[in-house]
């Protein structure tokens, strides 16, 4: 495991320096660059010029459509997501050679963008935009889309990009069931295939890899929990391998994805909550609580999160949606999120969040998360939090206090400096229900007289403060690098992996 981590460290550093949008966008540009070069060398059936002009029309039409939708309906469209939709369509639709081909492309881009902002229910996008556009085009007489990206010559670059995307977004549990069921179903339904021809026709030169790593994993159209995502991947895989006709629809990879999107939508928690901003409160250095009043009571388990949408003009490439843990407890009448606000450079989302005035509304959907209290109240628990990763523990601990639920809980809370600890008064109050809080300063500035721990959390810290740690269930929440390193620490201490639950906040 450590060898793999050492290999992955530089990869993770690289991936952390990019946003998801940047990775996907530049990755798709690279795939198209390779395709154009191969065309110049005569390795493909298309000209480099047709690839360049097709991508220009598709990307140009998608960006223009996004801008028009923004002017007409005020939807918060982002230019990067329009570019990505245009690039994905470029890699699927056969490079254009006639004026009619270009017209189909412009139409596809417009439909894709419209679906993103207009085919929505309760603020939630239903379909993968590119797949939706291709299905509509199929009905309108365009014919089957080509998926020319699924070719042997493009395999290496698609594979590298796909694996980077799936690794960054942590969705192998979605991609692999899709791949497995796609291959198995294809093998069963297409007669005369040998295992070797199956691999060459479906994996090396078919749509599976591109579709599974770039389109299937798109967060706004995937289910909220791991189990449901496995089911979603498996379903889309089966549908991709099947050959069927239903009315005007005949089986295509894009139709498989659209049907999967409907499944994902149906199983998702779709009850949208509208919340009214009440106030923001500084809770630690550069960390604020944003407090809201929901327009109706809603149920959640302490430790769960929501997908928050905050419409604002001039959204940057990170867009207008974020996942935030509900830092409040279900026992409170307000809903709070705790977030770090970078004083130097914040995203447009965080700037809009800090600019909210009392009464302003924000909406939230897709309640999810398994980082919640075990049902057995007698088990020993150890919480390890790094920085803003404290938010689920704030929710859980406040819940324990309010419901007088006495449990054996040790909290190790790490922060760079003494002023980085949020909610410490609450944690100190929670000693009454069994909480043993330990504050750990990881940075060099330790104030004189500091009574807590210092340095990175070590095996000694754990064994000294939790002697029977082998019987405990550990919860770790924080930045990815921290979560990974503490997982190793626990594994070296002999804590079984089944006793360790993790939560990490991508995005920093």
Ligand X SMILES: Cc1cc2nc3c(=O)[nH]c(=O)nc-3n(C[C@H](O)[C@H](O)[C@H](O)COP(=O)(O)OP(=O)(O)OC[C@H]3O[C@@H](n4cnc5c(N)ncnc54)[C@H](O)[C@@H]3O)c2cc1C
Q: Are strands 124-125 and 245-246 parallel, antiparallel or unpaired?
A: unpaired
* Contact of 285 with 417, CB cutoff 8 Å: yes
**Would you call 225 helix, strand, or coil by DSSP?**
coil
> Nearest approach, Cβ of 341 to ligand X (angstroms)?
7
> Nearest approach, Cβ of 319 to ligand X (angstroms)?
9
Residue recorded with tokens 């002023």: 419
The nearer residue to ligand X, 308 or 469, going by C-beta atoms, is: 308
* Contact of 442 with 455, CB cutoff 8 Å: yes
Count the residues in the chain: 508
Rounded Cα–Cα distance for residues 362 and 349 (Å): 12
The nearer residue to ligand X, 374 or 507, going by C-beta atoms, is: 507
> Nearest approach, Cβ of 89 to ligand X (angstroms)?
25
> Nearest approach, Cβ of 289 to ligand X (angstroms)?
10
> Nearest approach, Cβ of 506 to ligand X (angstroms)?
6
507 binds ligand X (CB under 6 A): yes
Site string for ligand X, 302-321 (x = CB under 6 A): ---x----------xxx---
Rounded Cα–Cα distance for residues 139 and 156 (Å): 33
Identify the residue among 379, 452, 455, 506 touching ligand X (CB under 6 A): 506
The nearer residue to ligand X, 143 or 507, going by C-beta atoms, is: 507
Q: What Rg value do the Cα atoms of the chain yield, rounded? A: 25
The nearer residue to ligand X, 325 or 328, going by C-beta atoms, is: 325
* Residue of 261, 275, 331 whose CA lies nearest to 299: 331
* Contact of 82 with 115, CB cutoff 8 Å: no
CB atoms within 10 A of CB 17: 9
- Which residues, 334 to 373, sit near ligand X by CB under 6 A? 337-340, 342, 345-347, 349-350
Q: How many residues bind ligand X (CB under 6 A)?
A: 24
The nearer residue to ligand X, 78 or 181, going by C-beta atoms, is: 78
* Contact of 486 with 457, CB cutoff 8 Å: yes
> Nearest approach, Cβ of 477 to ligand X (angstroms)?
9
Rounded Cα–Cα distance for residues 47 and 54 (Å): 11
33 binds ligand X (CB under 6 A): no
Q: Which stretch binds ligand X (CB under 6 A): 72-80, 194-202, 331-339, 450-458?
A: 331-339
Show the tokens assigned to 133.
Answer: 């556009």
The nearer residue to ligand X, 237 or 479, going by C-beta atoms, is: 479
> How many Cα atoms sit within 13 Å of 127 on the Cβ side?
21
* Contact of 276 with 360, CB cutoff 8 Å: yes
* Contact of 57 with 41, CB cutoff 8 Å: no
- Which residues, 83 to 122, sit near ligand X by CB under 6 A? none
Rounded Cα–Cα distance for residues 416 and 85 (Å): 40
> Nearest approach, Cβ of 25 to ligand X (angstroms)?
13
> Nearest approach, Cβ of 352 to ligand X (angstroms)?
10
324 binds ligand X (CB under 6 A): yes
Which residue has its beta carbon closest to ligand X? 507
CB atoms within 10 A of CB 37: 13
Q: Which stretch binds ligand X (CB under 6 A): 97-105, 322-330, 445-453, 463-471?
A: 322-330
The nearer residue to ligand X, 142 or 232, going by C-beta atoms, is: 232
Helix axes 155-169, 20-40, angle to 10 degrees: 180
The nearer residue to ligand X, 110 or 390, going by C-beta atoms, is: 390
Site string for ligand X, 476-505 (x = CB under 6 A): -----------------------------x
> Nearest approach, Cβ of 96 to ligand X (angstroms)?
33
The nearer residue to ligand X, 229 or 461, going by C-beta atoms, is: 229
Q: What region does 143 belong to: left with phi over 0, alpha with psi -120 to 50, or beta? A: left
Q: What is the dihedral of CA 45, 50, 55, 56, to 10 degrees?
A: 170
> Nearest approach, Cβ of 103 to ligand X (angstroms)?
35
Site string for ligand X, 372-401 (x = CB under 6 A): ----------------x--x----------
> Nearest approach, Cβ of 178 to ligand X (angstroms)?
21
> Nearest approach, Cβ of 78 to ligand X (angstroms)?
10
The nearer residue to ligand X, 201 or 317, going by C-beta atoms, is: 317
Rounded Cα–Cα distance for residues 164 and 217 (Å): 12
**Would you call 442 helix, strand, or coil by DSSP?**
coil
Q: Are strands 335-340 and 435-441 parallel, antiparallel or unpaired?
A: unpaired
The nearer residue to ligand X, 299 or 345, going by C-beta atoms, is: 345
Residues of the shown chain interacting with ligand X in the complex, contacts defined by CB under 6 A = 305, 316-318, 322-325, 337-340, 342, 345-347, 349-350, 388, 391, 505-508
């Amino acid at each position: 495991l450590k060898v793999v981590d050492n290999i992955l460290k530089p990869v993770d550093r690289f991936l952390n320096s990019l946003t998801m949008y940047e990775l996907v966008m530049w990755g798709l540009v690279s795939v198209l660059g390779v395709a154009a070069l191969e065309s110049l060398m005569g390795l493909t059936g298309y000209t480099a010029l047709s690839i360049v002009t097709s991508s220009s029309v598709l990307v140009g039409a998608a960006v223009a459509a996004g801008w028009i939708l923004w002017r007409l309906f005020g939807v918060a469209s982002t230019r990067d997501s329009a570019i990505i939709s245009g690039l994905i369509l470029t890699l699927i639709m056969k490079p254009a050679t006639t004026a009619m081909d270009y017209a189909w492309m412009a139409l596809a881009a417009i439909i894709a963008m419209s679906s993103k902002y207009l085919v929505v229910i309760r603020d939630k996008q239903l379909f993968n935009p590119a797949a939706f556009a291709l299905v509509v085009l199929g009905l309108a007489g365009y014919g089957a889309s080509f998926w020319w990206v699924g070719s042997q010559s493009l395999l290496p670059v698609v594979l590298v990009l796909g694996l980077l995307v799936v690794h960054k977004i942590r969705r192998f549990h979605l991609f692999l069931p899709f791949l497995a069921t796609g291959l198995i179903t294809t093998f069963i339904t297409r007669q005369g295939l040998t295992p070797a021809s199956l691999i060459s026709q479906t994996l090396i030169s078919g749509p599976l890899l591109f579709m599974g790593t770039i389109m299937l994993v798109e967060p706004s159209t995937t289910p909220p929990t791991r189990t449901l995502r496995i089911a979603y991947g498996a379903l889309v895989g089966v549908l991709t391998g099947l050959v069927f006709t239903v009315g005007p629809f005949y089986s295509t990879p894009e139709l498989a994805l659209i049907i999967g999107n409907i499944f994902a939508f149906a199983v998702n928690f779709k009850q949208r909550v509208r919340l009214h901003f009440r106030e923001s409160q500084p809770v630690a250095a550069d960390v604020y609580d944003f407090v809201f009043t929901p327009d109706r009571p809603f149920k959640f388990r302490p430790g769960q999160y929501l997908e928050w949408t905050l419409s604002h003009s001039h959204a940057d490439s990170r867009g207008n949606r974020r996942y935030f843990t509900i830092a409040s407890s279900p026992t409170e009448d307000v809903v709070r999120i705790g977030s770090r606000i970078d004083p130097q450079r914040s995203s447009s989302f965080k700037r809009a969040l800090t600019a909210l005035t009392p009464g302003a509304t924000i909406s939230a959907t897709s309640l999810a998360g398994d980082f919640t209290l075990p049902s057995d109240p007698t088990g020993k628990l150890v919480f390890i939090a790094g920085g803003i990763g404290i938010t689920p523990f704030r929710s859980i601990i406040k819940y324990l206090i309010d419901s007088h639920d006495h449990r054996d809980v040790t909290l190790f809370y790490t922060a760079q400096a003494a002023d980085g600890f949020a909610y410490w008064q609450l944690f100190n109050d929670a000693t009454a229900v069994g909480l043993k809080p330990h504050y750990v300063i990881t940075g060099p500035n330790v104030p004189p007289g500091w009574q807590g721990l210092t340095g990175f959390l070590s095996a000694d810290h754990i064994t000294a403060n939790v002697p029977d740690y082998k019987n405990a269930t550990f919860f770790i929440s924080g930045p990815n690098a921290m979560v990974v390193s503490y997982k190793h620490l626990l594994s070296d201490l002999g804590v079984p992996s089944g006793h360790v639950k993790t939560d990490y906040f991508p995005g920093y």
